[in-house]
Amino acid sequence: MRAYTKVWIAAVAACLGILAVSALSLPPSFRLTAISDIIQCLLLFSGTLSFLPHAFRSRGRLRVFWSLIASGIGLWFLYQFVWIYYEIYLRVPVPDMCTGDVILFLHIVPLMAALALRPHAAEDEYAARLRGLDFALLLVWWVYLYVLFVVPWQYLAVNVGPYGDNLNSLYLIEKFAFLGALVMAWLGSNGEWKLFYANLFGAYLTYALSSHFANSAIDHHVYYSGSFYDVPLAASMAWITITGLFIKGRAPQPAVRSISAAHGLWLARLGMIAAFSLPLFAAWALMNTSVPPLIRSFRVIATLSAALLMSLLVFVRQRLLDGELLRLLTHSRESIAHLKRLQTQITESEKHASIGQLVGGVAHELNNPITALLGYSDLLLNSPLTPGQKELAHEISQNARRTRSLVASLLTFAKQRPSAMVTVDLNSLLRTAVKLSEPQSQGMKIEVHIDLPQGLLPVQGDSNQLLQVFAQMIDDALNAAHRYGNRSVTLTAEQENDQAVVKICHANLGPGAADGQPLQAANNSTPLGLGLTACQGILRQHQGRISCEQSRNRTNVRVEIPLTPAPEKSRKPAAPLSWQPHASA
């Protein structure tokens, strides 16, 4: 506990002790009245000051909460200052119909507004706005009740008896309504907040009971300022100061048990009850013939005015509610659409997984007869054959190798596993792919023209997989050129912005992909074949893409792969390019 807090508490205890001693030892006098009024005013001023630091240190909803608490205690202090003005400055008793009585009646309203914010529980902005409107309904209703029952006897038909009775009864109902709200807040909180609500409840319960006994003493003409009836009142004021000094007012913790939904529901119900009670009060005002006609007319006008204001608040509340419901409906529709897309993706993933397992099994089974075909074709080529037989044996060998390459692509498609990405030189990789295709191009008597840029074309990727892609593309181009009698295939590479672009130009393959459109992996009917379809899956892992650009006589297959910055000298050099053919199962 800080030193100034100890001094503050000691000063509050001293004020309370002085008042108790004075009430017991001094007779009714101006000095006793002055001591009582000043001490009560100091205690309420102290209570107001004890909550202001919480407002300055807090943010958002907590700042509003502590400001409303301080405002409520401040209004109570202002009402006590009215007593000092009459009893000490003017040295006259406080009038039975004092204009300042409305301040005392309304000082509980900011306290109720603070409880409506529920600072101990997490709450979104929308719920806070709705509860603010619900509280505004109740605020208008309390002011309306004061105007309906108290004001007419103070200004229209002056009568101390009905004025005092109505004011005391209405104020007592308001105090116990506030105590009930404190109980609800206590039930929905824990930790320091529960302790705060319990202390505030104790202080206001003491005040409600002591003020009730003081009013009874006034009715029996035994009360005077500074009497022992003021000691419990001062004790409740001192209790408020102690509560403000010891509470820390921290933000709500996630573990707080909240009954926010029930609280908001009951607050809305109370607001609706307040709105629906207006016609009943209007009917009562019209049928109450025991009061002067002027009061009846005034009550009807006050009821109509309150009904208009509360109707506007209900309209605004309904607009907010409709907007929130529309937002929730839109969010629900988007969530359902997202779930449908997710379900479709899961179905496609399961389908692809099944296809991958099937393709992997078939590819492994095909590897054995393909290996046998390659072996026998090599034996035939090394055997003494006629030129026609050698050409047929060469065709068998080339198609077997092409089939093996296709099976390797199918195996890669079936595995669907991430690759080890390193920086590789695309130019070196393309030269290696052309070198590997030389037996096939020489056998088909097709010339492969290479146009590569000077320097490096560094890309990030798996060198073996990228080599497989370009070897497959060259293989398809050679077969297409051989089929259409074309004796040349052109392979070019260049840099376009931050992309490495590889083009393989060969004879037109016939109708198929549209100009410049990316190949569709699911379109197995494309003339570019299943090999390039599998290649597209590899390129997708490398953030690249493959597309077909057709003209009247030729077809360009275009591959784009993102470039990577050239490695600095201080960095570890890129892994050397090595080609490892896919092993047979």
What is the rounded distance in angstroms from the CA atom of residue 9 to the CA atom of residue 245?
9
- Whether 355 maps to a domain, the answer reads no
* CA distance linking residue 326 with residue 337, whole number of Å: 17
- pLDDT in the model for residue 557: 86
Q: What is the pLDDT of residues 514-563, one digit of tens each?
A: 444 444 333 333 344 556 666 777 888 888 888 877 666 777 888 999 98
Name the domain boundary from 263, 289, 308. 263
Residues with Cβ within 8 Å of 502's Cβ and at least 6 positions away in sequence, in order, are: 426, 430, 470, 491, 492, 493, 558, 559, 561
Residue 581: the pLDDT is: 37
Query: Would you say residue 407 lies in a domain?
Result: no
Q: How many domains does the chain have?
A: 2
Q: Is position 60 within any domain?
A: yes
Q: How many of the other CB atoms lie within 10 Å of CB of 69?
A: 30
The predicted structure's pLDDT at residue 518: 42
Of the residues 227, 243, 263, the one at which a domain ends: 263
Tell me the CATH number at 482. 3.30.565.10
Instruction: Evaluate whether residue 400 is within a structural domain.
Output: no
Domain that holds residue 476: 419-562
pLDDT of residue 127: 59
How do 488-496 and 447-451 pair as beta strands? parallel
C-alpha 175: how far from chain center:
38
pLDDT at position 513: 38
Give CA angle at 260 (255, 262), nearest 5°: 135
Which tens digit of pLDDT belongs to each residue from 453-482? 887 788 888 877 788 788 888 888 888 887
Burial class (CB within 10 angstroms; exposed 0-12, middle 13-18, buried 19+) of 321:
middle
Neighbours of 537 (CB within 10 A): 16
| Helices of type H across 382-457 | 387-415, 426-436, 438-444
Output the pLDDT for position 506.
Answer: 75
Q: Is residue 258 part of a domain?
A: yes
Boundary (domain end) residue, out of 263, 280, 303: 263
A 10 A CB-CB count for 145 gives 20
Q: Which residues pair with 424 in a beta bridge?
A: 459
**291 assigned to some structural domain:** no
Distance, CA of 463 to CA of 561 (rounded, Å): 13
Judge whether 295 lies within some domain: no
Residue 511 domain-assigned?
A: yes
Confidence (pLDDT) at 574:
41
Counting as low any pLDDT under 70, the low residues of the chain are 1, 122-132, 134, 249-271, 352, 356, 360, 363-364, 409-420, 507-534, 550-552, 566-585
